[in-house]
Amino acid sequence: MGDALIVPVLVTTDLLPGTDLAAFGQLVADAVGTLQCEGGGWYPGDLGGATFWLDRPVPPQAPGHLAPEQLRCAAMLGLLSTRGPRGSAKDVLADVRAAIVAAVVGQYGDLGSPPAVLGITNADIRERTPETAIIAATRHPSSELAAATRLYL
């Protein structure tokens, strides 16, 4: 697929400790199914990756344990595939960031700081995804984009 742009990404955000990571991962993956350019116009996207807690919880019996209202850091490492008017990873990441921030804030509210969406390397995905991570992928991607993304995972 010659016109696909594939960008390895890291998404992090703070969530309440009891948040369902599978639901969070699915929300992030689905948020990029249709991306909007800054100046208007839409184009398709596909994100396949794995979601996990980036931090370790403090056991409840330990001094200074996490209260239910305290936040934990969730992360998703994955590959984003797009096809459309945006030719650079920087421009695509700006559109992806806007879509993910809107989806996360819409679902979980404003928990302080917006999600971070960063371009990374393929090696980061392979080396930093824990075995216990939960897989998530855009539910209804174009078949071409899904094939392009899965080829690199």
The alpha-helical segments, DSSP class H, found in 55-135 are 89-108, 122-128
Instruction: Assign a CATH topology to domain 4-55+71-152.
Output: Alpha-Beta Plaits (3.30.70)
CA of 152: how far to CAs of 8, 78, 101, in Å? 10, 10, 25
Q: pLDDT band for 147, please (50, 70, 90 cuts).
A: low
Q: Domain map of the chain by residue range?
A: 4-55+71-152
Comparing C-alpha atoms, which of 51, 29, 73, 57 is closest to residue 130?
Answer: 51
Distance CA 113, CA 13 (A): 8
Q: What is the pLDDT of residues 47-99, one digit of tens each?
A: 999 999 988 765 554 555 555 567 889 999 999 999 877 678 899 999 999 99
The two tokens of residue 64 are 């200074």
Q: How far apart are CA 153 and CA 149, in angstroms?
A: 7
